Structure 1
Amino acid sequence: MTTAVIQEKTTQSILADLLKARFPLLYIQTFEEDRILSVIRSVGANAQLVKRPRNVLTWRLTSGMENELSQKVPDTVAPIKALDYIESYDDAGIFVLQDFHIYFGGQGKLPDFQVIRKLRDMVSKLKCSPNPKSIIFTSPTLVLPYDLQKDVTIVDFHLPSLQEIKSVLDEMIAVNEQSGRIQIDLSSIEKEQLVNAALGLTLSEAENAFARAMVEDGRLSVDDVDVILREKEQIIKKTGILEFITSDLVMEDVGGLENLKRWLHKRNKSWLDSASKYGLDAPKGVLITGVPGCGKSLISKAISSMWHLPLLRFDISKIFSGIVGSSEENMREAIRTAEALAPAILWIDEIEKGFSGMSTGGDSGTSARVFGQFLTWMQEKKSAVFVIATANNIQALPPEMMRKGRFDEIFFVDLPTMRERAEILKVHMDKRLLHPDVIGTFQRDESTLEHLARMTEGFVGAEIEHLVISAMFEAYSEERSITLADFERAIENTVPLSVTQAEQILAIREWANVRAITATPREDRAEYAERPAVNGSTIPSAGGDDLRSTRGGRAIDF
C-alpha cells in the first residue's frame, strides 16, 4: 500500500533556508529514507521555497548515482567517482548520499581519508558554483569524522507528527471501508487515542501496527491501542536502557489510595488535542513517597492500564558505565527514546537509590551531571511523558528534585486505614478464592472483612497480601477448605513493618506532614479509633495510637 506523506513543515523551512544559503554539506539522521526523500524533493521542486528549483539525485552503495527518473549514472558506484560526478554536474542539484556514512568511520573502523579529503576540497567549489549544488548525507546513525565537523551541518528530522500518522490511518480506513472486510468502530476521540498511541513509530511501523490491529480480529477499535503498544515494545527492547513493562494490573487491583486515584482519573486523556481547548498541558508527573510495601509500585503499574499508555521502567543504574562520557549519552538516549514513544509513562522505582552519592565526588561529577540533565528535562519537557517516581527514603533526595515544576504533586502513602485494609483483603481474596472446593463455607462478607481489617491494624499492603497467601497454604497443606481461623492464625504470626521500623515510619511522616499530600481521602482517615494491640505489641497506626499526632500528608482531597 502506498501512503500519502505529509511533509514536516519545520524541516521543510529549515532545509529550504540552508539550500538557499548554499550550505554545501548537510547531514540528516533518520531511518525513513523514503519519507526524507519525499521532503527533499518537495523542497527542491518548490520555487517559492528555494527560489530556483533543483534536481534531486540519489546515491546508494549498491547502485551508484540515479537521477529523478531512476536512471543510473554510469561509473558512479565508487565514492570518489560519485563525488567527481557531483563536482562536474552543470545544473542546480541536490545530491542525497544514502550510504556514505560507512566512509566516515565509527564502530572501531577508520574513516576513508581520501573520501574525506575530496569532500573538503569540494566545499568551496560547491559554495561558489554558478548553479546551486548541495550534498545531503542521510543515515540511521550519526557518524561524523572530526575533519568534517566544521563543514557539515546537521539537520534534525523528527519522527512523524500526529497529523502524518492520522493521514496514514485515514487512508487505511478508507481503503478497508470500500472493501468491507474490516469493521471500523472508532469515534473521533477514540481515533485520536489510536493515533496518539502510534506516536514515536515511523510511518512504516505505524502502518504495520494498524494493519496488524485490523487483521487480528477483523475490526479496528480503541481496544487495539494494546496492539500499537506491542509494536512500541520492539523499540524499547533495542535500546537496552529502558524496559517495557507489560502488566495486567488494573486500578481496581489497588486497594485504597482513593485520593491519588481521583487525581489520576481527572488527568486521563489530558495529552489529547481535546484538552487544548481548556488551555491544558500534559501533566509532568508525580512523586510518590511513603511507607514501604503500601502500594507505591503497584499503583505505578496500574496507571498504564487506566490511561492506555505504554509503561517504561527507567533503571537509573543502567545509565552509568565505565566509559568516560557514556553515562551522559545514555541519559540522553533514554530521554530521546521516552519522548519518541510519547505519550508514555516513565516509571522510576526507588529514585533515591539511583541518584545517591552525588555529593561524594567519587565519580568525577558524573552522577551530578547526569542528575542535572534529568532535572533540566523534567523542568522543560514539552512531550507527553508522564514521570512517576517512587521513593521510600525521601530525605535522601536532593531538595532540587522536589522543587515546583519538576513534579505536579508529591503524594504520601501511609499505612492503610481500616477501610483500605478491608479493600486490600478483598482484592487478594477475590484473586485467589476462586474454586468452590477451596471456598467451602467461608463467607467473604463485609463483617468478615471488617473483623480481619481490625486485626491487621498497622499492616502494610504487602503484609496483607502475604497473610492471605499464608492462610491459603495452611488450607492447602491439609487439603481442606479455607477457614476464618487460617487468616487469624496468619495475622497472629506476622510482626508488621510498623513495629520493626516504627522510628523510620515516624521520620517519613514528619517529613511529609507539610511537604506532601496524603493519598488517602479525608473520609477514610476520619474513621479511625483506638484499636487493640496485636500480639500484645503497640502498633503505630495510620490514624490512631502512637503516631496519631504526626500523621504525614496534607489533608487535600481531589
Structure 2
Amino acid sequence: MEESSVLHFQKSLSNLMRARFPFLYIPTWEEERVLSLIRLTTSNEALIKTVRKVFTWSLTSGLAEDGQTGREETKTAIKCLEFIETYDHPAVFILKDFHMFFGGVGKQPDYHVIRKLRDLLPVLKQSASPKNVIIVSPTLVLPTELEKEMTIVDFSLPSFTEIKDVLSEMIEANKASGRIIMDLTSEDEERLAKAALGLTLHEAENAFARAMVENGRLDKNDVEIILEEKRQIIKKSEILEFIKTDLKIEDVGGLENLKRWLFKRNKSWLDSAVQYGLPAPKGALITGVPGCGKSLIAKAISAMWQLPLLRLDLGKIFSGIVGSSEENMRKAIKTVEAISPSILWIDEIEKGFSGISHGGDSGTSNRIFGTFLTWMQEKTKPVFVIATANNIHALPAEMLRKGRFDEIFFVDLPTKKERKDIFRLHIHKRLKSPKVIGEFQLTEDTLEQLAELTEGYVGAEVEQTVITALFEAFSEERSIRLEDFIKAIRNTVPLSITQAEQIQSLRNWANVRAVAATVKEDRLGYLDQNIDSKTDASKGEDIKLTRGGRAVDF
C-alpha cells in the first residue's frame, strides 16, 4: 500500500473500532505486517480516541497481552472467548487462524465456538469499555451463522513504496559490508521494485536476497530472479500458467508495425510514464490467418518488456462444479493483478467466449463474460491483456469495442520481405554444424529465390519447409542443398489455397476494423484489398496478390 493507502487502512480500521463493530475479519498472509499496523492504530489517540491494549491469540501460545507470555489456560478457543467476555478494559483481541473453527472444505465447523462468538456479540456492543475482536487469517472462511456479524476488512499487498524501501535498506546494508556489488541506476531500482509488486514483504525480501547471493552482485538483470518468485504464486494456481520463454522480439520475422507499437509502450508502467500523464496500456487483440505468428509475438512481448507472461486457460475457468466457474474467473483476475505489472495472454479467445449468446448453461458463460469485460474496462492495475483469435467472427461484438483493447491488429500472409526474414531466422537457427552446412551459402539471392517460391505461405509453413529440407539431407547423411528447400516447397500445399475463402472473409472484416501488423514498406508490390475489391476470393492466386488490414503505420 502507498503511504496514503496505509493511512486509509488505519483510518478505516479505527473508524470501525470506534463505531463498536464487534467482529472484524482481515484475510491476509502478512500476519506480522497487519499486526504492526493494528498496533500503530490502537496506540494513536488522534485516530482511535480511546487507546486500547492489544491481545493476540494463537492455538500454540494462547491469549497474550503485548510484551507478555500467553496464558496456558486460554489456549482453547472457548476459554479465550470467556476471557474476552469478562475483560473490562479498552482492548483489541487479535485471533490468529481462528478460521479453523469455521469449517471449510472437508472439515466440520465447531458449533460450540460459533455459538460462543454469537453470545459474545451483545457483550462487546454494550460493554462500558470499548472492545473489538479481529480475526487475522490467510483465507476467508465464514459460516452462515456469522455472515451478518463479521465485517471484512481489505488489506492490500505491499505497495511500490514499501517494497522500494525494503530494497533501499538492503542495498545500503550490503554496501556497507562490501561483499555484494551494487550496479543499479535509479531506474534499475524502480524496475526491481516494480517486478516485486504482488509479493509479500517477506517474499520480496527473500527475492532480493537471492538475487544478491546468486552471483555476488545486484543489477538490472536480476529482474528474472524476482519473476521466479512470482512463478511460485502461479504454480499454486490451476487456472493460470506461467510461461517462461527465451523468445526475443528479434526472433519473430516481420510484423514490424506491431513491433513498433509495442516498443513505444515499453516501460509505460514505470513512474517516468506518469510524468506524461499516461495510463498503463490495456492490451491488444491480434487476429488473422492461422500460423502467421500471433502466439509467437505474444510470447516475445514478455522478453521485450521484461514482465511475467501468464496464460489464461478459459477451458479451466468453465470446468468444475456448478458455481465454481465465476469463482475461478475472480480468482484468476485477483492473481494476475497481485503480480502486476504483468502480461495476461489469452490464446484463441474466440473458443472461450464464442457461445455466450446460445445459453445452455444457466447463464454462467454470460456472467463470466460480463465479469471479464467489466474488469478489462475498469482495471487500474498494470495488466496488459494480449488476446489472439483466428476466427474473429465468433467473438461477441462487446469484446471489440474501444475501451477493451487499445488496438486490434490483423496478421495477414507474410509478404515477400517478411518471408525472407523468416527463412533467414529459421535457417540460421538450425544450421549450426559445418558438416550439415557443407557448401550451402545463404545469400540474398538464395533468400530472394526461396521467398519468391513461397508466395502465399504462412510463417509456420515456411518453418516446416526448412525442417523438411533438413530431414531430406539427414536421411541421406549429407550436407544441405538448395534443391532440398525447393523440393520441400513444391511438395507443400499452402493454407492460402486450402482456406482461400476464409482468408478473404478475414480480410474483408479487417479492412475497416483492424490495423495491419505489417508496415507499408513491406507491403510494396501487393494490392491494397480496399482498392482491389474486384478480386475473386476463390482463386488462390488472387489471395496471394493482396494484403488486408488498415494501412496505419506507427
CA contact (8 A) 2:527 2:546 kept: no
1:552 equivalenced with 2:548 (yes/no):
yes
- Structure 1: give runs of 5+ residues left out of the alignment: 531-537
Deviations 1:255-305 (A, max 9, x none): 000000000000001011111010001000000000000000000000000
Corresponding position of 2:142: 144
Shift of 1:332: 0.2
CA contact (8 A) 1:284 1:407 kept: yes
Given residue 553 of structure 2, which amino acid in structure 1 is its aligned partner? D
Corresponding position of 1:34: 32
Q: Pick from 222, 225, 234 the counterpart of residue 223 of structure 2.
A: 225
1:114 equivalenced with 2:112 (yes/no):
yes
Query: SS state of the match for residue 514, structure 1?
Result: helix
Deviations 1:512-548 (A, max 9, x none): 1100000000111123489xxxxxxx9999xx95147
Deviations 1:187-210 (A, max 9, x none): 111111111110111111111111
CA contact (8 A) 2:455 2:544 kept: no
Shift of 1:99: 2.0
Q: Pick from 255, 258, 273 the counterpart of residue 256 of structure 2.
A: 258
Residues of 1 paired with 2:54 and 2:415: CA distance?
69
Given residue 129 of structure 1, which amino acid in structure 2 is its aligned partner? S
Q: Pick from 362, 365, 373 the counterpart of residue 364 of structure 1.
A: 362
Given residue 394 of structure 1, which amino acid in structure 2 is its aligned partner? I
Corresponding position of 1:185: 183
Corresponding position of 1:63: 61
- Structure 2: give runs of 5+ residues left out of the alignment: 529-535
Query: SS state of the match for residue 75, structure 1?
Result: helix
CA contact (8 A) 1:510 1:550 kept: no
Deviations 1:402-434 (A, max 9, x none): 011000000000000000000000110110011
Percent identity over paired residues: 65
Distance 1:539 1:515, change over 3 A: closer
Residues of 1 paired with 2:547 and 2:485: CA distance?
28
Shift of 1:111: 1.4
Given residue 378 of structure 1, which amino acid in structure 2 is its aligned partner? M
Q: Pick from 475, 478, 483 the counterpart of residue 473 of structure 2.
A: 475
Distance 1:68 1:99, change over 3 A: same
Shift of 1:10: 2.5
Corresponding position of 2:533: none
Query: After superposition, where does 1:66-465 map in structure 2 within 5 Å?
Result: 66-465=64-463
Decide which moves more: 255-264 or 99-108.
99-108
Decide which moves more: 124-133 or 142-151.
124-133
Q: CA RMSD in A?
A: 1.8
Deviations 1:151-178 (A, max 9, x none): 1000001111111111111111111000
Deviations 1:433-486 (A, max 9, x none): 111111111111211111111111000000000000111111111111111111
CA contact (8 A) 1:428 1:468 kept: yes
Query: SS state of the match for residue 12, structure 2?
Result: helix
Given residue 51 of structure 1, which amino acid in structure 2 is its aligned partner? K
Given residue 557 of structure 1, which amino acid in structure 2 is its aligned partner? D
Decide which moves more: 87-96 or 36-45.
87-96
Deviations 1:334-360 (A, max 9, x none): 000000010000000000001122122
CA contact (8 A) 1:514 1:552 kept: no
Distance 1:471 1:529, change over 3 A: farther
CA contact (8 A) 1:57 1:93 kept: yes
Query: SS state of the match for residue 229, structure 1?
Result: helix
Query: SS state of the match for residue 167, structure 1?
Result: helix
Query: SS state of the match for residue 377, structure 1?
Result: helix
Given residue 465 of structure 1, which amino acid in structure 2 is its aligned partner? E
Residues of 2 paired with 1:333 and 1:539: CA distance?
45
Corresponding position of 1:535: none
Query: SS state of the match for residue 359, structure 1?
Result: helix
CA contact (8 A) 1:57 1:66 kept: yes
Large movers: runs of 4+ above 2 Å: 5-10, 527-530, 538-541, 547-552
CA contact (8 A) 1:6 1:164 kept: no
Distance 1:432 1:121, change over 3 A: same
Residues of 1 paired with 2:285 and 2:471: CA distance?
36
Instruction: Work out the number of aligned pairs and report it.
Output: 545
Decide which moves more: 116-125 or 494-503.
116-125
Shift of 1:115: 1.2
Residues of 2 paired with 1:462 and 1:552: CA distance?
19
Shift of 1:134: 0.3
Decide which moves more: 303-312 or 64-73.
64-73
Residues of 2 paired with 1:540 and 1:180: CA distance?
72
Query: SS state of the match for residue 239, structure 1?
Result: coil
